[in-house]
Structure 1
Amino acid sequence: MDKRKYLMMIDDTIAKGQFKDDWDSLSQIQVPDWYQNAKFGIFIHWGVYSVPAFKNEWYPRNMYIHDSDEYKHHLEVYGDHKDFGYKDFIPMFQAENFHAEEWADLFKQSGAKYIMPVAEHHDGFQLYKSDISTLNAYEMGPKRDLLGEMKTAFEEQGLELTVSSHRAEHWFFMSGGKEFDSDIKEPLVRGDLYWPSMPEADLHDIHSPKPTEEFLEDWLIRCCELIDQYKPKVFYFDWWIQTEAFKPYLKKFAAYYYNRAEEWGAQVAINYKFDAFVFGSAVPDMERGHFAELKPYFWQTCTSVARNSWCYTPGNDYKSSIEIIQNLVDIVSKNGALLLNIGPKADGTIPEEDKAILLAVGDWLKVNGEAIYDTTYWKTFGEGPNNIEEGQFTDQAAKVFTSEDIRFTRKGSHLYATVLVYPENGEVRIKSLGKKSSLFHGIIEEISILGFDEKPTWNQAEDALLIQTSTVKCPTPVVFKIVLN
């Protein structure tokens, strides 16, 4: 690739397009309708790190950190780092049992509407055919354009292809290997798997360290190449792009992407964390966490089926499907979407535990999807005693909901009230819909239960809407469809 020519093409596209590389211009973007209506997507962490499958997807960094569990494990299983380094896992990543059509069929059954493979993780290995690097799945390992195969299979099932790039952290990710006799040795040049492996400073200091112009230009080209080759509908960035040095390049990327989408006639979005983008210029993502209250802007939670890892490891600490369904309902009621991650094995098979969770979510959505898809928020997200802990990384313990925890969504004249834990006695009290509620003064025409034939009895009392059922028994959330006049 002629990198100078590609950079000039990026600048030319921005100069001619509607969106310029400044925050005022980028803030004119509108969140796509399809994205706000989709509500549920699947994240996929799969790559060379799936070969050792130990601890988590940060194995390539931590195996070079002296005395870490990964470092010790590597010595015990693979030997000395100077003789067997991370690069030596690449030939072992064969994806021999990967069939994109099977993945697409499973994801369709799960009820997801958009699918987001990690195109390049912190380790610097690309899952797609690239002109900027030979360290990719098309030229090494499986020798297949894995992302391209996914795009074809997903779109045949009506699923939107979205992608993520975690390339920014590659600046420092392998730096530990320079501190002892390993296979990471200078001189490192652009194109090496381990380049640049710079010292890991305070990663929370947004003003330093500052990657070089060479690295930042390489990062920009990689991201734009993904856009041009695969036309993803959402482009997700992991953290560390919020640092000062990335800002000019982020603005260029966003302007290029938004202008390219205008050329395609497509609606696209960018995901970001930690105020990497100026508010209103992209969609904020809450990693492994929730908002406690309804937000007037669209947002997304990314989390995983496992608490301990984003990638496959034997013995993953899995969440229950009920917990995930409850979280989906809670997030959607607050004007958000859930991006749920799975971790395939190195050979391309999806673990049975991951499959079971996805199918359980899909079964629930087949019955209750009208309370999720194409809905929007009501006057309040819900009611009940549960206090959601707000913030990132708050999903290490399951949230404990009760039969008083109810979440609302709406569509036209229909209000959906989802009871997160259905009571054994079938008695439901919805305080927000009582006659004296400050939230509601309308007329209730009819109430039905999604997925059940029973017609509930109900009465709008002063302090609550009282609903009584006699045959409804369900371990998963139950949805009341309320027709308003």
Structure 2
Amino acid sequence: MDANAYLKTIDDTISKGSFKDNWDSLSEFQVPRWYEKAKFGIFIHWGVYSVPAFRSEWYPRNMYIQGSEEYKHHIAVYGEHKDFGYKDFIPMFKAENFNANEWAELFREAGAKYIMPVAEHHDGFQMYKSDISHFNAYEMGPKRDLLGEMKAAFEKRDLTFCVSSHRAEHWFFLSHGKEFDSDIKEPLVRGDFYWPSMPEPDHQDLYGSPPNQEYLEDWLIRCCELVDQYKPKVFYFDWWIHTAAFKPYLKKFAAYYYNKAEEWGFGVAINYKHDAFQFGTSVPDVERGQFAELKPYFWQTDTAVAKNSWSYTPGNDYKSSVEIIRDLVDIVSKNGSLLLNVGPKADGSIPEEDKQILLEIGAWLKDNGEAIYDTTFWRTFGEGPTKIEEGQFTDGKTKLFTSEDIRFTVKGTCLYATVLVHPSNGVVKIKSLGKKSHHFHGIIEDISVLGFDEKPLWERTDEALIITTNKVQSAAPVVFSIIIE
């Protein structure tokens, strides 16, 4: 690829398009309506790191940190790093059981509306056909355009195709291999798998020196190549792009992407963390966490079916489907969307545990999806005693919701009240809908319970709307559809 020619194309597209590479112009961005309606997506962490499948997808970094569990495991299983390095896993990444159509069917059954595979993780291996580096899935490993196959299968089933790039962190990700006799040696040049492997001081400072112009231009071209080849409707960035050196390039990318979307004729969005983008120019994302209160802006949380890893590892610590459904309801009630990650095995098969969780979520959504999809927030997101810990990396502990924890969404004439833990006696009290509540002074015409044949009894007192059922039993949240006159 002629990098200078591509950079000129990017600049030309920005100069001719509606969006310019400054925050004032990019603030004209509007969240696509399809995205606000979708509410539930699937994230996919799958790559060369799925071959060792040890501890997490950070194996390629940590295997080069002397003394780490990954370092010791690597020597015990694969031998010395100078003889068998991370690059030597690539031929073992064959994806021999990968079937994009089977994935698409599973994700559709799960009730997901958009799908986001990781196109390139921190390790620098591209899961697609690329003209930038030979270290991609089309030329090595599976020797297939995995991303292209996914796009075709997903869109055939009306699943919105999105991508994520974690390339930014590659600047330092493999640098510890230079600290001892390993297969990571200078000279490293642009296009090499291990390039640039810049220092990461004290093994914990994930910043080190700021990336240089050559690296930043390469990063920009890689992102724009994904846009041009696959036309994703959401482009997700991981955390390291918030560092100062990336700012001019982030603006260029956003302007290029938004202008290309105008050419294509459909709405797109960018996901970001840590104020990498100016507020209002894209969609904020909270990693493994959520907000405690309703937000006036659309947001997303990304989390995983496993608590310990984004990628497949044997013995993953899985969440229950009920736990995830409760989080989905809570997030949607606060004007958010849930992006839920699964980690396929190296051969391309999805673990049975992941499948079961997805199918259980899908079964719940078949009965209750009308309270999730295409809804919006109500005057208050909910009620109940359980407090949500706000911020990233807060989903490691299961939330102990009670029968008093209720979440609201609304669509048309329906107000949906979802009881996160249905009481065993069948009596639900909704304080926000009592006669003296400051949240609601309207008229209730009728109430039904989704997914059950029983017609609930109900009455409004000064203190609460009291709904009684005799036959409704469910470990998962129960949704009441309240018709407002």
After TM superposition, the score normalised by the length of structure 2 is 0.99
User: Identical aligned pairs, as a percentage?
Assistant: 76
- 1:431-462 Cα offsets, whole Å, 9 max, x none, are 00000001110000000000111111100000
The residue correspondences of 1:66-215 to structure 2 (distance < 5 A) are 66-201=66-201, 209-215=209-215
Aligned pairs for 1:339-350 within 5 A: 339-350=339-350
Alpha-carbon deviation of 1:200?
1.1
1:95 to partner: Cα distance? 0.1
- 8 Å contact 1:205–1:243 — kept in the other structure? no
What's the counterpart of residue 391 of structure 2? 391
Query: What is the aligned partner in structure 1 of residue 234 from structure 2?
Result: 234
Q: Which residue of 2 aligns with 1:7?
A: 7
Q: Deviations over 1:321-348 (max 9, x none)?
A: 0000000000000000000000000000
The residue correspondences of 1:446-457 to structure 2 (distance < 5 A) are 446-457=446-457
3-state SS of 1:479 partner? strand
**CA 1:154–1:203 in structure 2 vs 1: closer, same or farther (change >3 Å)?**
farther
Distance, in Å, in 2 between the alignment partners of 1:280 and 1:163 is 21
Give the AA of the match of 1:443: I
Instruction: Give SS of 1:259's match.
Output: helix
Deviation at 1:201, TM superposition (A): 4.2
Q: Distance in 1 between matches of 2:135 and 2:465?
A: 61
1:191 shift after superposition: 1.0
CA distance in 1, matches of 2:206, 2:409: 38
Q: Distance in 1 between matches of 2:197 and 2:44?
A: 25
Match of residue 26 from structure 2: 26
- CA distance in structure 1 between the aligned counterparts of 2:399 and 2:238, rounded to whole angstroms: 25
* Aligned 8 A contact 1:206 1:244 in 2: no
Distance (Å, rounded) in 2 between the aligned partners of 1:327 and 1:73: 35
For residues 95-117 of structure 1, give each alpha carbon's deviation from its aligned partner in whole angstroms, at most 9, with x where no partner exists. 00000000000000000000000
Measure, in 1, the Cα distance between the counterparts of 2:227 and 2:267: 13
The 4+ residue runs of structure 1 with deviation greater than 3 A are 201-208
Q: Is the 8 A contact 1:384 1:405 kept in 2?
A: yes
Q: Residue 239 of structure 2: SS of its match in structure 1?
A: coil
Shift in Å, 1:209: 2.6
SS at match of 2:242: coil
Contact 1:21 1:251 in 2 (8 A): yes
Pairwise CA distance, 1:412: 1.1
Please give the alpha-carbon distance, in whole angstroms, between the structure 2 residues aligned to 1:356 and 1:438.
Answer: 42
On the 8 A contact 1:206/1:242 being kept in 2, the answer is no
Separation (CA, whole Å) in 2 of partners of 1:358 and 1:186: 45
SS at match of 1:241: helix
2:173 partner SS: coil
SS state of the match for residue 42, structure 2?
A: strand
Secondary structure of 1:172's counterpart equals: helix
C-alpha contact (below 8 Å) 2:65/2:203 kept by paired residues: no
Q: Please give the alpha-carbon distance, in whole angstroms, between the structure 1 residues aligned to 2:206 and 2:246.
A: 10
> Which residue identity does 2:278 align to in structure 1?
V
**C-alpha separation in 2, matches of 1:385 and 1:151:** 43
- Asked whether the equivalents of residues 242 and 277 of structure 2 are also in contact (C-alpha less than 8 Å), the reply is yes
Give, in angstroms, the shift of residue 210 of structure 1.
1.4
CA distance in 2, matches of 1:242, 1:301: 18
- Contact 2:427–2:467 (CA<8 Å) still a contact in 1? yes
Instruction: Give the equivalent residue in structure 2 for 1:276.
Output: 276
Change in Cα spacing, 1:24 to 1:206, as seen in structure 2 (3 Å) is farther
1:263 aligns with 2:268: no
Q: Distance in 1 between matches of 2:273 and 2:119?
A: 18
Structure 2 vs 1, CA of residues 198 and 205 (structure 1 numbering), >3 Å: closer, same or farther? closer
Residues 1:127 and 1:206: Cα distance change in structure 2 (over 3 Å)? closer
Structure 2 Cα separation of the partners of residues 85 and 344 of structure 1: 22
SS state of the match for residue 214, structure 1? helix
Q: CA deviation at 1:124?
A: 0.1
User: Contact 1:224–1:253 (CA<8 Å) still a contact in 2?
Assistant: yes
Which TM-score applies when normalising by structure 1? Answer: 0.99
1:50-65 to 2 correspondences below 5 Å: 50-65=50-65
What is the deviation of 1:413?
1.3
**AA matched with 1:130:** S
The one-letter code of the counterpart of 1:161 is F
Amino acid at match of 1:38: A
1:9-62 Cα deviation digits (max 9, x unpaired): 000000000000000100101000000000000000000000000000000000
Residues 83 and 9 (structure 1), Cα distance of their counterparts in 2 relative to 1, 3 Å cut? same
Instruction: Verify the 8 A CA contact 1:201 1:209 in the aligned structure 2.
Output: no
* Alpha-carbon contact 2:199-2:208 (below 8 Å) kept: no
**Match status 1:420 vs 2:414:** no
Correspondence list, 1:253-402, <5 A: 253-402=253-402
Q: Structure 2: how far apart are the matches of 1:174 and 1:199?
A: 9
Would the aligned equivalents of 2:200 and 2:206 in 1 still touch at CA under 8 Å?
no
| Structure 1 CA distance for aligned equivalents of residues 203 and 382 of structure 2 | 37
Tell me if the contact between 1:241 and 1:276 (Cα under 8 Å) persists in the aligned partners. yes
Structure 1 residue 173 displacement after superposition: 0.2
Distance in 2 separating the partners of 1:468 and 1:384: 18
Letter in 2 for 1:384: G
| 3-state DSSP of counterpart to 1:301 | strand
The answer to whether the aligner puts 1:463 opposite 2:463 as a matched pair is: yes
Q: Is the 8 A contact 2:39 2:336 kept in 1?
A: yes
> Offset of 1:202 from its aligned partner?
8.5
Contact 1:45 1:343 in 2 (8 A): yes
The residue aligned with 1:432 is 432
> Is this contact kept in 2: 1:385–1:405, CA < 8 A?
yes
Query: Which string of whole-angstrom CA distances, capped at 9 and with x for unpartnered residues, describes residues 136-157 of structure 1?
Result: 0000000000000000000001
User: RMSD value over aligned CA atoms?
Assistant: 1.2
Deviation sequence 1:264-303 (CA, Å, 0-9, x none): 0010000000000000000000000010000000000000
Partner Cα separation in structure 1 for residue 65 and residue 293 of structure 2: 40
Higher mean alpha-carbon deviation, 197-206 vs 413-422, is at 197-206
Q: Is the 8 A contact 1:208 1:244 kept in 2?
A: no
Report if aligned partners of 1:207, 1:245 keep a CA contact under 8 Å in 2.
no
Q: How many residues align?
A: 485
Structure 1 regions of 5+ residues with no counterpart? Answer: none
